[in-house]
Structures are given as structure tokens and as C-alpha cells.
Amino acid sequence: MILTTYQKIVYGLALLGIVVMVTIPDVVIELTTEFFHLVFELIFEVADVTFESVETLLDNVVEHLLHTELHDTQVIVYYVIVSLLAYPIYRLARAVLEFLFRLFVLIPIKYADYKTQWLLLRQDISYYWQKLAFISKLKWVLIATGILYLASFLVM
């Protein structure tokens, strides 16, 4: 097998990446997470500065056009921004719901099958519970209560 110079470089870099990942995985993972943290921090900082500059611009325009005080200007700008953002959010919600509806239509199992299976499962569980002895019911209740009690420590 004859390798070109480009293939040798690619294979060498891949081998180097594997060796680095095997020898110092903690450093590689930390550098990767720090890089993504930096990127997202910069993106959100730029978005915040852009929003603040647009808000300041709207404040100045409303204050000079309508000759309002500070509080009135802030209220007007707030409702203008909410109005400007409401329509795109509404369109995005409709698009997401339409996408999800189309995705669920492609699933071959019908809703009636789910309902029938749920009713059968409920009947089976009800029948099983009615046929249990009192001691067995008490065991089930105590086990479930114990599990919920222990799980509450994970949440708190």
C-alpha cells in the first residue's frame, strides 16, 4: 500500500490524537470543555451587548419623539421589544409543532393501539392487585414507600 504525503499527514495526526487522548484524557477533556465555554460565553456576551445597544437606541428614539419621562420611556420600549419578539416566537412554535405533528404521523402505530394496550395493562394490574393477599399488598406498599423515601435524598 503506497501512501501519499497527505495520507501520511492525516494518519500521523490521527495517531497523535489517539496517543494524546490515551495518555492525558483529563487535559484533553478540560481543554475541550473550556473551549466550548469560551465560545458560548463570547456568543452570549455579544448577544447581550447587541440587545443593550438596541434597547438604548429605542430608549433615545422614544424619548425624543414622544417627549416622555424615563419610566414612561422604559415601559414603552419594553412593550415594543415584547411585540417585536412575540411574532418570531409564535412562528417558531408553530413550525416546531408542525414538524412534530409530521414526525408523529410517520410512526406506524395508531393511537387506538396505545389506548387498547393501556386499558389491558390497567386491567391486568387491577386483577393482580385484587388477587394479592394482605401481607403481599403490605410488602408492595412498604417497598414502594422505601424506594420513594430513598429517592427523595437524590432530589434534595
Q: Could you tell me if residue 64 is inside a domain?
A: no
Q: Could you tell me if residue 142 is inside a domain?
A: yes
Q: Could you tell me if residue 128 is inside a domain?
A: yes
Domain containing 130 equals 110-156
Q: Could you tell me if residue 95 is inside a domain?
A: no
Number of domains in the chain: 1
Q: Could you tell me if residue 97 is inside a domain?
A: no
What pLDDT is recorded for position 155?
75
- Helical axes 5-23 vs 25-66, angle rounded to 10°: 100
Which residues have CB under 8 Å from 73's CB, separation 6+?
59, 62, 63, 66
Q: Could you tell me if residue 151 is inside a domain?
A: yes
Q: Could you tell me if residue 154 is inside a domain?
A: yes
What pLDDT is recorded for position 52?
94
What pLDDT is recorded for position 21?
86
What pLDDT is recorded for position 20?
87
What pLDDT is recorded for position 28?
87
Q: Could you tell me if residue 26 is inside a domain?
A: no
Stated pTM of the model:
0.49
pLDDT in tens, the chain (156 residues): 677 888 889 989 999 988 988 898 888 889 999 999 999 999 999 999 999 999 999 999 999 999 999 899 999 999 999 999 999 999 999 999 888 877 776 666 666 577 778 788 889 989 998 999 999 999 999 999 999 888 888 876
What pLDDT is recorded for position 56?
93
